Chain A
Amino acid sequence: MLAEDSVLLREGLIGLLGRCGHEVVAAVGDAEALLVAVEEHGPDIVVTDVRMPPGFQDEGLHAAVRLREWRPGLPVLVLSQYVQRTYASELLDSGDGTGVGYLLKDRVGQVEQFVDALCEVADGGTVVDPEVVRQLLRRRRDPLERLTPREREVLALIAEGKSNGAIARELVVSEAAVGKHIGGILTKLDLPPAEETHRRVLAVLAYLRA
């Protein structure tokens, strides 16, 4: 399911997703049509632009938030022209916080990463754009102040939707070391043991709300 008002981008995205083996069941140009089309098709994931007709404000974002109120488990990937923590927070607060993505539109140019992020969100992961993460890194506040710089780095990479293996490669450490860092993060953020993926998401949310 795709919602994007620019025909140019919509067609481009359909082509891109088709090439990577995904099927676009419906592509719409405004937020109202998006809500209707989701009812009709019941897609695996919704990709939507923030700014859409009729008001060209944040209709797409609000549609996404409403969709997640109706169907808390529906994965939604929101594409935005800007880095805006406010948008990211509103989106991540909707539903149960899983299966949410907030990416800059620029990222669709990095085709493989974009498709990876899409799959991550569809599988219930949380993906936040590295630009937003970078902004957040500047804000070192409780409870993140308890984390070591390395742990913060690891948390930032988790927020970007990376797996333990990918984080290990990026930081040039062993996967076991990454696991240890994650354990430290979860303890310091007061997240008691539960199912692993869910705690990761909670950690990311804590990070974003800090």
Chain B
Amino acid sequence: MSRPGFLLSAWPWRSVGYLLTGAVAGAVVLVGVVTLAVAGGALAAVLVGLPLLVMLALSGVVVARTERWRLRLLDGDPLPDPHRAPAATGLWAWLTTRLKEQATWRELGYTLLFAGLLWPLDVLAVTVAVLVPASMAATPLLMATVGDGREAKVLKQWTVTTWPTAFGVAVLGLLLLASGLYAMGVVAGARAGLTRLLIASRDGELDARVVELSRSRVRLVDAFEAERRRIERDLHDGAQQRLVALTMTLGLARLDAPPGPLADQLAKAHDEAGRALAELRELIQGIHPKVLADYGLAAAVADAADRSVVPVDVELAVPGRLDQAVESAAYFVVCEALANVAKHSGAGRAEVRGGHSRGRLLLEVRDDGRGGADASAGSGLTGLADRVSVLDGTLTLSSPPGGPTLLRVEFPCELTESAGASGASGLAARADRCG
């Protein structure tokens, strides 16, 4: 507005447009709100009015949406919708979500203010700043047309009878119009600012949304863990038991079969079933290791170290059990790290160390290999880093060419069960020493 070209730009007209549409919309809203309130209040006794009152409560949502749209006349940045998406589809979910939101009630407050106070102010601003100076500027025109060149009424109040006076009033009107347009720009800006203040989402709400988002991420991780466990259980209780029964039956059949082609075929089938069983066992182990659920992280890591091709020293002090999601993520980080050590590092020895202290779980996997690992190169570590970060943990990798490689994960977490609370943790402690 401070630019010299303000009066010649589209902004005065945008301001006028904003205030005029505001005046019209405000009048409509006033009629709507009063109608809903009166009809709803009168009919509330016969229950028909209750939906009307609910509609009244929610009218702010509609009005605010229109207002946000109208704000674009003055504001290039569209305002974000402060409402949350309902958790489920359907009218009821929508209603309950909206009625529980702070934003809905703030918007209703704005609507009442708009209907009662703001739109008359809009009218006043446009009248004073534009219509009055404009009608003054039109005085010579009025004198020439309606007044037959003899007289004209300025603002329907003062009578002007001479041409010089008429032109003087017109010049005054134009000057007032110019300053009025400036003033109106200010009013429209203030008005838009007030609207934005009242109906746009706030930082507090943004924080709430961030919290909500992080919670939903954690819920997703939990659901993912639960699903892993379910798949593991299903495979264990179903396919695995049947395969064991099948190998048993085939084993017995082999005992009965006389030597010959039939016995050979049976032997082949028996071996195949045995291999299928071994593969299934590996698969289930990879989905969710039983020892992790039963004995916790230290024991599971010790077992993973047992299975590693590269010899691994384990020194892990976790005096109890941790949150399931943390245990699981930490375990899979170690497994992935050990798999990488075996596949890429060329290391002769690896080491897993760490422990839980002062509310943090720290794990380090170190190897004496050639280094050069890159966590950002789309390896399995990227996925693990995501999984770690969901739990507010950090994963860092130091792997200079020539080695050594050091992978470090840290989680904020508390022990859920202290040492000695179960037989399992005592065992886990022993597994540390074994490792």
Contacts and interface: CB of A to CB of B under 8 A. Distances in A.
Interface of A: 6, 8-9, 12-13, 15-16, 19, 51, 56-58, 62, 81-87, 89-90, 104-106, 108-112, 135-136, 138-140, 209
A82 B290 contact: yes
Interface stretch (B128-136, B142-150, B216-224, B242-250): B242-250
A139 B311 contact: yes
Interface of A, secondary structure class, is helix
A112 B270 CA distance: 13
B297 to A, nearest CB: 12
Interface in B292-322: 293-295, 299, 302-303, 306-309, 311
A15 B247 CA distance: 14
Interface of B, secondary structure class, is helix
A42 B241 CA distance: 28
A209 to B, nearest CB: 7
A71 B236 CA distance: 31
B306 A106 contact: no
B306 A111 contact: no
Given A57-B294, A86-B299, A12 B281 contact: no
B248 A82 contact: no
21 contacts: A6-B241, A9-B244, A12-B249, A16-B251, A57-B294, A58-B290, A62-B423, A82-B290, A84-B290, A85-B302, A86-B303, A89-B431, A106-B278, A108-B244, A109-B244, A109-B248, A109-B251, A111-B254, A111-B255, A138-B308, A140-B311
Contacts of B241: 6, 8-9
B274 A109 contact: yes
Contacts of A57: 290, 293-294
B245 A111 contact: no
Nearest to A50: B290
The 10 closest A-B pairs by CB, nearest first: A109-B247, A111-B251, A6-B241, A135-B306, A109-B251, A86-B299, A8-B245, A58-B294, A12-B248, A106-B277
B295 A81 contact: no
Interface of B: 233, 236-237, 240-242, 244-245, 247-252, 254-255, 270, 273-274, 277-278, 281, 284-285, 289-291, 293-295, 299, 302-303, 306-309, 311, 423, 427, 430-431, 434
Nearest to B246: A109
A135 B307 contact: yes
A82 B434 CA distance: 19
B420 to A, nearest CB: 16
Given A86-B431, A109-B251, A111-B248, A81 B274 contact: no
Nearest to B435: A139
Contact of A110 (B251, B278, B295): B251
Contacts of B434: 85, 89, 209
A86 B290 CA distance: 11
A81 B281 contact: yes
Given A8-B242, A81-B240, A16 B303 contact: no
B306 A85 contact: yes
Contacts of B307: 135
Contacts of B278: 106
Contacts of A6: 237, 241, 245
Contacts of A19: 252, 255
A82 B277 CA distance: 11
A15 B252 CA distance: 10
A108 B306 contact: no
Nearest to A113: B251
Nearest to B277: A106
Given A9-B245, A56-B233, A58-B294, 7 more contacts: A8-B241, A56-B237, A82-B284, A85-B306, A86-B427, A138-B308, A209-B434
Contact of A51 (B273, B290, B309): B290
Contacts of B240: 81, 105
B303 A85 contact: yes
A82 B293 CA distance: 13
B427 A90 contact: yes
A86 B430 CA distance: 9
Q: Which of A109, A138, A209 has the most CB of B within 10 A?
A: A109
B285 A82 contact: yes
A82 B281 contact: yes
Contacts of A8: 241-242, 245
Given A86-B299, A89-B434, A209-B434, A106 B290 contact: no
Contacts of B309: 138
B244 A105 contact: yes
A9 B247 CA distance: 11
A6 B278 CA distance: 19
B248 A138 contact: no
A79 to B, nearest CB: 9
A108 B249 CA distance: 10
Nearest to B249: A12
Contact of B290 (A81, A85, A104, A108): A81
B181 to A, nearest CB: 79
Q: Which of B241, B273, B308 has the most CB of A within 10 A?
A: B241
B271 to A, nearest CB: 10
A111 B293 contact: no
Contacts of B427: 86, 89-90
B200 to A, nearest CB: 52
Nearest to A61: B294
